[in-house]
Structure 1
Amino acid sequence: MQFQNKTVIITGGGTGIGRKAAELFYNEGANVIINGRREEVLKTTATEIDPTEQKVSFVAGDISNPETSKDLVNKAVELFGGVDILVNNTGKFVPTPFTEYTPEDVQSYLDVIVKGTLFTSQAVIPEMKKRGQGAIINTGSMWALQPVEATPSAAYSAAMAGRHAMTKNMAVELAADHIRVNAVAPAVVETPIYNNFLSDEEVPEVLDSFNEFHPLKRNGQPEDVANAILFLASESASWITGTVMPVDGGATARLR
């Protein structure tokens, strides 16, 4: 139970990687608060992970709004006395040709990924300082490092590159407060995000086509990334900060 009595906030925690991370943290003894826009999804996830409703709670709201981050921290303090770990896991991914982005598209990526990371991190830092330490893990992306012709995603990639850059800057600024900041950079992970732009019939076929994209010959699963998140949050990673860890089945090993 390596996270016994630790309190974790996970944004984008209702489905996919965030949900699996919430489940694994809970299994290791942590108190968990998840965030997303859809209250019913969050409620279902929280209850399925913790039927007692004692150690997993949720706050629904738009994470680009600083008030949502404040609500998350206030709930963590009210229920569990503080915050030890933050996982910034919000994301939006809709492949779009470069010339077809609208101002609204670009703003939405900045809201979900950049603002969602900045405001939530700002909100938890004072509580982590009270603890004398903390860990922030950001879910980045291989697309911030390597374009993929089959999935044009310049705005998404730019926002995720911003999350990577924020990771390194925060790590340097917060090191004196014993707050470590790292990121994971997944490649293709089989989560519900693909249902945002593919039909239910298309999802399995398209995802199967990406298995060979990874040298390990398979797409990632939420647990692959969640395990890396837990490692970076743990004492086993106590001398690691400012890194962006590829969790990508070897995909970026091909970078020249």
Structure 2
Amino acid sequence: MRFEGRVVAITGGGSGIGKEVATRFLAEGASVAINGRDADKLRAAAQEIDPSGERVIVSAGDIADPATGAALVEAAVSRFGQLDVLVNNAGVFNPKPFLDLTEADYDWYLDTILKGKFFAAQAAAKAMKGRGGVIVQTGSMWAIQAIGATPSAAYSAANAGVHAMVRNLAIELASYQIRINAVAPAVVETPVYDTFLSKEQVRDVLPTFNAFHPIGRNGQPGDVAAAILFLASDDASWITGTVLSVDGGVTAGRQ
């Protein structure tokens, strides 16, 4: 029970990696506040994770609005009395060629991925100041390595900003005993692909990416969740400012 008595806030906690992270934190003793844009989806996830309703609360809102991150932190502190861990997991993804990207596309990525994580981290750090804590960001392999099959210039740029933020905040927040790290996943089978592909396309396309990973398979939410919980735990107490590749070997090279 690595997180007994601790309080965790998770953005993008209604499905995929975020929901799996919430489930695992709860199983290891934590109380959890989850955020997402869809209030009904959040409530359904909370009911599934914790039918008692005692250790999971929801805070709905678009993380692109800085007030949403602040509201999530406030909800966690008000209900559970403190905040020990923030998992900044919310994100968006929809590959589109650079020459087709619009200003609205650009703003969508930067606001959700970079601005959202920036101000949620700021709100969390203010709550953690004086007692310490941990922030874990979900970055991306696409910020480290470009993939021709999935053109993602704006998405990659936003996540590169997240990676840079991790290094900067690790230095700024160290004196407050606040650690910050990130995971950088490759292809993980989550509902994000349902937002721009049909169910038939997801079924047909995702398996073609198995061989893209040297380990030979796509990632699952649990693969990333395990890394996030490690970085949030006392087992990683001497790790800060790190971007951990959780990518089946993609950034190591090719077979």
Same-fold call, TM cutoff 0.5: yes
Q: In structure 2, the residue corresponding to 1:201 is in which secondary structure?
A: helix
Partner of 1:84: 84
Q: How many corresponding residue pairs?
A: 254
- TM-score of the two chains, using structure 2 as the length reference: 0.98
Partner of 2:226: 227
Q: In structure 2, the residue corresponding to 1:210 is in which secondary structure?
A: helix
Deviations 1:59-86, CA, capped at 9 Å, x for gaps: 0001121221221121111110010000
Partner of 2:44: 44
Structure 1 runs (4+) deviating above 4 angstroms are none
CA distance in 2, matches of 1:130, 1:41: 34
CA contact (8 A) 2:17 2:224 kept: yes
Partner of 2:212: 213
Q: In structure 1, the residue corresponding to 2:104 is in which secondary structure?
A: helix
**Structural mapping, 1:71-150, within 5 Å:** 71-131=71-131, 133-150=132-149
CA distance in 1, matches of 2:183, 2:232: 11
Partner of 2:199: 200
Deviation at 1:130, TM superposition (A): 3.1
Partner of 2:247: 248
CA contact (8 A) 2:130 2:176 kept: no
- Structure 1 residue runs of 5 or longer lacking an equivalent are none
CA distance in 2, matches of 1:95, 1:64: 19
Deviation at 1:90, TM superposition (A): 1.1
Partner of 1:56: 56
Deviations 1:72-107, CA, capped at 9 Å, x for gaps: 121111110010000111111100000001111000
Deviates more, 1:209-218 or 1:57-66: 57-66
Identity of aligned residues (%): 58
CA distance in 2, matches of 1:169, 1:101: 29
The one-letter amino acid of 2:150's match is T
Q: In structure 1, the residue corresponding to 2:150 is in which secondary structure?
A: coil
Partner of 1:167: 166
Q: In structure 2, the residue corresponding to 1:151 is in which secondary structure?
A: coil
CA distance in 1, matches of 2:143, 2:66: 25
Partner of 2:69: 69
Deviation at 1:193, TM superposition (A): 0.5
Deviations 1:154-200, CA, capped at 9 Å, x for gaps: 00000000000001111111011110000000000000001111110
- TM-score of the two chains, using structure 1 as the length reference: 0.98
